[in-house]
Homo-oligomer: A and B are copies of this chain.
Amino acid sequence: MKIRVDVKLKPGVLDPQGRAVGQALHSLGFAEVGEVRIGKSIEIDIDTTSQEVAVSKGREMAQKLLANLVIESFEVSVIG
């Protein structure tokens, strides 16, 4: 199975990298751009045939390593 763990900053947490990208887009002429926020997406091959196991392992990995739950939230989805 292949899962994807999407990690993004919680609402209200400052995102300086996103702001820098937003400013760069403005400089390139994209005047219609508003807020920009940048997250990670982690694709993981897991050796199991059960979607439930894959998602449950993914959540455990996110909680233990992939996400900083103080400032980030995450979602786990099966992609293959």
With contacts A40-B41, A41-B39 taken as known, whether A65 is within 8 angstroms of B25 at the C-beta atoms is yes
Task: State which residues 30-59 of A face B: CB under 8 Å.
Answer: 30, 32-48, 57
Q: A70 on the interface (CB 8 Å rule)?
A: no
Q: A61-B25, A65-B24, A65-B28 are in contact. Are A44 and B39 (CB under 8 A)?
A: no
Contacts A30-B57, A61-B30 given; indicate if A39 touches B43 (C-beta within 8 A): yes
Q: Are B39 and A40 in contact (CB under 8 A)?
A: yes
The reply on A19 being an interface residue by CB < 8 A is no
Is the CB–CB distance between A40 and B43 below 8 Å?
A: no
> How far is A64 from B29 in the complex, measured between Cα atoms in Å?
11
